[in-house]
């Protein structure tokens, strides 16, 4: 946001959606609801990590890592009443080498997000000409703690992608054995 303000753009950072005021561009980051008044701003931007319309829904970045995908698109699109169904403005791809843990993965995603939002604002209004999505949509479901469950009968290698995307604080990896639950936290030593 500092970069945009230094370029003369009038920007605000809000945590509560009830504070949104009328403007040209509203950017939703990590927003897990449908915003009630999409007509308040000329453009309501969303970042979504999939090659839309494939991979609409929740946690697309995590699901793709679990699928073994290493080249993941980060898509800038217009918010719409239907989840992740709006016009696509731009897309960047992040490359994972297969060793990155969730913080490193999110860092790459965050850098792509900043680049996409900055591109849109710097080139506005020309950047607002996007393309409609085409093709059959697929959907990812919401992840929860149970999705971090390890299988004691599988090797670490077989479950490494799951370990990579587990959040040590919010959704740590865990397994159950002999009536007990054990938590596993993963960190990289460089």
What are the sequence ranges of the domains in the chain?
2-143, 144-190
**Would you state the pLDDT for residue 39?**
81
pLDDT, tens digit, 9 for 90 and up, residues 34-88 = 677 888 889 999 999 999 999 999 999 999 999 999 999 999 999 998 999 999 9
Distance CA 175, CA 106 (A): 25
Domain 2-143 has CATH 3.30.70.20: no
Q: What is the CA radius of gyration of the chain?
A: 19
Share of the chain above pLDDT 70, in %: 91
| Entry pTM | 0.90
> Do 124 and 78 form a contact (C-beta atoms < 8 A)?
no
For the residues 8-37, what does the mean pLDDT come to?
75
Residue 92: strand, helix, or coil = strand
Residue 113, pLDDT above cutoff 80: yes
């Amino acid at each position: 946001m500092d970069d945009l303000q230094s370029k003369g753009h009038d920007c605000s950072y809000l945590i509560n959606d009830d504070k949104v005021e009328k403007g040209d561009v509203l950017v939703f980051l990590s927003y897990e609801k449908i915003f009630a008044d999409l007509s308040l701003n000329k453009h309501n931007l969303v970042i979504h990590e999939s090659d839309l319309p494939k991979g609409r829904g929740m946690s697309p970045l995590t699901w793709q890592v679990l699928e073994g995908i290493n080249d993941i698109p980060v898509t800038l699109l217009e918010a719409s009443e239907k989840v992740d169904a709006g016009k696509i403005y731009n897309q960047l791809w992040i490359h994972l080498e297969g060793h990155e843990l969730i913080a490193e993965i999110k860092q790459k995603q965050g850098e792509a997000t900043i680049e996409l939002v900055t591109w849109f604002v710097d080139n506005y209004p020309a950047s607002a000409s996007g393309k409609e999505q085409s093709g059959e949509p697929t959907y990812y479901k919401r992840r929860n703690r149970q999705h971090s469950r390890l299988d004691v009968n599988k090797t670490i290698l077989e479950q490494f992608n799951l370990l990579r995307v587990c959040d040590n604080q919010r959704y740590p990896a865990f397994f159950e054995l002999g009536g007990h639950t054990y938590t596993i936290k993963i960190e990289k030593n460089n």
